[in-house]
Structures are given as C-alpha cells and as structure tokens.
C-alpha cells in the first residue's frame, strides 16, 4: 500500500483524479447548489414582483437577484472559483433574509425565512463541493 492518501491497493488513482464515489458526490453537490441557486432566484423574483412586494413599490427590489444569475454558468461548468465566491456572496442574502424576517410581517416574513434557509443551504453546498474537489490535491508532506 502506497503512502499517498489517494492510492488504494489495486486502484490506479492518479493525483488530479477522483474516485468514482467522490465524483458521484461532487455531481450531486453541483446539482444541489444549482437547484438552491435557481430557487433563490425564483424566490427573489416571485417575492418582489407578485407574492409580497413592498407597499407602493415599483418592483425594482427584484433586481437583487441579478448577482445570483452571474454564478449560474460557472456552477454548471464546475468552476471552483465560482463556488468559492458564491459562498461569500450568499451571505448578503442571509443578512437580507434575517433583517426582513424580523422586520417584516405576514407572508414577507415567511419568504424571508425561506430565503435564509436557501442561502445557508447554498453556502453549505458550496463549501462541501469545494472541500471534495480539493481532496485531490497532495498534502504538504507529499510535495517534493
């Protein structure tokens, strides 16, 4: 058995490749992250345009979903950098959801709670995705 953490007896793993089980989990996490991101986009649009727009508002607050549309392509293309910065961007939506969940009333407060759940879920999904993808890199002791 090799000292390299990716080597298993009888397996031909190469640094830079993932075992099939990990690839399946990475694919599932990607689908989860994309679904949560699309959910946030749909929620933001529906919330601000139809379900509970601000009284007397123009619906311009629906523009808050534009930053969420940007990472969609990168997530679909497995771009690690996209998952990293999306995990930071999503905290803006957690903050907005928390403020509106405690300050608004009625349906808007419930929608804000859903926004918080989706946002935190997206953060966890992005963090898990990045962690699994980085497992392929050799440790410091393995670099020579």
Cα separation, 141 vs 88, in Å, equals: 30
Task: Check whether 11 has a pLDDT greater than 90.
Answer: no
SS3 41: helix
Residue located via tokens 């994309």: 34
- Residue 56, pLDDT score: 81
Rounded to the nearest 5 degrees, what angle is found at the Cα of 141, between the Cα atoms of 140 and 144? 90
Count the domains in the chain: 1
What's the chain's length in residues? 144
**What average pLDDT does range 135-140 have in this prediction?**
64
The answer to the question of residue 105 being in a domain is yes
The answer to the question of residue 117 being in a domain is yes
This prediction's pTM: 0.82
Cα separation, 32 vs 127, in Å, equals: 12
The answer to the question of residue 35 being in a domain is yes
Confidence of residue 3 (pLDDT cuts 50, 70, 90): very low
- Over the stretch 47-103, which tens digit does the pLDDT of each residue have? 999 999 888 878 888 999 999 999 999 999 999 999 999 999 999 999 999 999 999
- Residue 15, pLDDT score: 52
Cα separation, 83 vs 89, in Å, equals: 10
The answer to the question of residue 100 being in a domain is yes
For the residues of 7-21, what is the DSSP string, one character each? --TT----TT---HH
**What average pLDDT does range 38-48 have in this prediction?**
96
SS3 53: coil
Task: Supply the range of the domain harboring residue 127.
Answer: 20-52+63-137
Half-sphere exposure of 106 (CA within 13 A, CB side): 7
CB 101 within 8 A of CB 113: yes
- Residue 4, pLDDT score: 45
Task: Check whether 125 has a pLDDT greater than 80.
Answer: yes
Cα separation, 14 vs 96, in Å, equals: 44
The answer to the question of residue 120 being in a domain is yes
């Amino acid at each position: 058995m090799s000292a390299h953490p990716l080597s298993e007896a009888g397996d031909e793993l190469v640094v830079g490749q993932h075992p099939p089980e990990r690839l399946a989990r990475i694919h599932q996490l990607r689908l989860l992250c994309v679904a949560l991101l699309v959910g946030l986009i749909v929620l933001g649009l529906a919330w601000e345009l139809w379900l509970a727009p601000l009284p007397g508002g123009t619906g311009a607050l629906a523009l808050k979903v534009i930053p969420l549309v940007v990472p969609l392509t990168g997530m679909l293309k497995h771009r690690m950098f996209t998952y990293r910065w999306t995990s930071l961007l999503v905290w803006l939506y957690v903050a907005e959801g928390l403020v509106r969940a405690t300050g608004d009333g009625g349906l808007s407060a419930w929608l804000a709670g859903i926004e918080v759940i989706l946002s935190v879920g997206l953060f966890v999904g992005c963090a898990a995705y990045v962690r699994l993808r980085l497992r392929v890199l050799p440790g410091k002791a393995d670099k020579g």
